Amino acid sequence: MPAYLNEIGTAVPVHDVHAPYLEIAPYFLPSETERRSFAKMAKRAGITHRYSTLEPADPSRWTDRYDAEGFYRPGAFPTTGERMKRYSREAPLLVDRALADLAKRAGGGWAEGLTHLVICTCTGFAAPGLDHHLVNAHGIPSTVERTLIGFMGCNAAINGYKTARHIVISDPSAKVLVLNVELCGLHFQENAPLQTALMFMLFADGAAAALVSAEPTGFELEAFRSDMLPDSRDHITWDIGDDGFDMWLSGRVPRTIFKNLPGHFETLAAAAGRDIDLWAIHPGGRTIIDAVEASLSLTPADVACSRGVLNDFGNMSSATLPFVLQRMLSQPRAGRTGVAIGFGPGVSVESMVFSEAAQ
């Protein structure tokens, strides 16, 4: 019995922080050379909007605070514990909005018959956590089977869908809710070099909620592939520090993807066994999409959906790829075959083959 990705709901916070960040980031850079480099890269980033749970402060308050509430204060940035408390407060609210969007698309009875819950996140942790919130706030049975996919990074959505597919194939009566929620804005660092400031320019907050079941609607989840690219262990790292989570994103990542992705895709294409019509590339950044486009000889039209999500929302880590898939689901045409590809620490690659169900 096949498994299907039936529908996806998404949500972002209300505060658009991209333009304010471009204005304030140069204050953290020590030299005019770095400030010029930052401005040049910002113009080429392919991002217009990014959203955060934190409201930017008025520039007149920058000597006192960088956000309206004072979560980030000069010389007094929050500890990891304080950031996790904020995550525990904000993540459920954003998840609720993603579920409201799911209800609009899938119907108000989305929770009926729900048997499994898969939560993917890498930006915050608490127990009891989002699983308990969902049971208490959304009428999900307390007997729902729960799985947490934690700290895998930007490609975790594909792992979530793969886990859901395994569940449905083993039990065709199962109905799985897959959640991706990321609050990347909680991990801003005060004493950041240029490379880190450029990384913060990419990331944003977002959430996605998807239903996977044996009901033949949406996308059939056909095949999956995992890989770790050679000699790339230090290219993307994500560590828990004393003052938030610390990320490193090497400038070598695009070249590593360009060099190694054809071999990964060859096996995936064999699993598909037919031409690929849809390309859901994780919008990890403009250069990431560029590398995939060049490596697999794609056209600008092939990656337009991914570039559109990057422009409109930035990189929301594991929540980003579902935004791309949601846009594809909203324009159904039966029979098309698609590939989704995401990248995470390692550099690790997760990918899947999907096809549109008959309408």
Query: What is the residue whose two structure tokens read 């994103």?
Result: 249
Between the alpha carbon of residue 147 and those of residues 70, 160, 182, the distances in Å are 35, 9, 17
3-state helix, strand, coil in the chain (%, to 5): 40, 25, 35
> Does residue 154 carry a catalytic annotation?
yes
Question: In the chain, which ranges are E strands?
Answer: 4-11, 15-16, 51-52, 116-121, 145-150, 175-183, 205-213, 219-228, 236-241, 244-249, 278-281, 337-344, 348-356
Q: Residue 211: what residue type? A: L
The 3-state DSSP class for residue 302 equals coil
Please, what is the end-to-end C-alpha distance for the chain in angstroms?
18
Between the alpha carbon of residue 125 and those of residues 131, 180, 330, the distances in Å are 11, 13, 32
Instruction: Report the distance separating Cα 155 and Cα 317, nearest Å.
Output: 8
Given 120, 122, 154, 305, the catalytic residue:
154
Q: What is the DSSP string of 186-254?
A: GG--SS--HHHHHHHTTB-EEEEEEEEESSS-SEEEEEEEEEE-TT-TTTEEEEEETTEEEEEE-TTHH
Residues involved in catalysis? 154
